[in-house]
Amino acid sequence: MDIFNIFWTYRSYFFTGVQYTLLLAVIGVFCGFILGMLVSLLRMSRIRVLRFIGSIWVEFLRGTPMLVQLFIIHYGLVSFGIKFSAIESGAITLTINSSAYLAEIFRAGIQGVDKGQAEAARSLGMTKGMTMRHIVLPQAVKSVLPAIGNEFITIIKESSIVSFIGVGDLMYQAGAVNTITYDYLKPLLIIAVIYFIMTFLLSKLLGLFERRLRTDDHR
């Protein structure tokens, strides 16, 4: 059976894999966005304990393999009576891992906003919280949107680890087709092409989006 016949015959497997892969990537980046924003604020807090918590969160998650984090959440927490389904464990792992990287992206974006704007807002009577919410954060988020898009692409590729716990993503579906056809190379080549198409199209869309942002800034 050639590679095109394998793809067409088992297309439902691969399409299902694409759905799970994109679903987990969207959940991971969206929830990671919110959590990463909170962690970045902890990292910049004047309270030492909060800064320490934020730093530990970022350094631990960035300094350990995502597969280990996945196994801790899916298998390790069972020892404490905490049990998640495979897809829940995958989504949680991608979320917390993404949050560590997004936290540093947000921190750089916030620190890149001109301090004079915050000082001007404070002189007009705005509190520190209002200044952060209405002046600093909107500009910071806009400046880091391309980096957030790149994180989405990264998560799409790294989500393949969830196949280890039985989530039906692309990698898992390739394994299922392997078992049926006894052909281990062609299903893997098929999903490699699918991953490439998804990430290539997203990178091109991000490029268009970045150019649009630069055009808007010049107006």
The residue length of the chain stands at 219
pLDDT value for 142: 80
Pair 167, 87: CB distance under 8 Å = yes
Q: What is the spatial distance between Cα 201 and Cα 208, in angstroms, rounded to a whole number?
A: 11
Average pLDDT over residues 97-121: 85
Residue 216 has pLDDT above 80, yes or no: no
Mean pLDDT for all residues in the chain: 90
Q: Pick the residue with more confidence: 137 or 40?
A: 40
Fold assignment, 3-218? MetI-like fold (1.10.3720)
pLDDT > 70 in the chain, percent? 97
pLDDT digits (tens, 9 = 90+) for 43-55: 988 899 999 999 9
The CA angle 93-95-98, to the nearest 5 degrees, is 105
Torsion of CA 37, 168, 19, 2, to 10 degrees: 130
Domain boundaries, given as residue ranges, for the chain: 3-218
C-alpha distances in Å from residue 204, one per residue of 15, 21, 124, 144, 207: 22, 19, 42, 17, 5
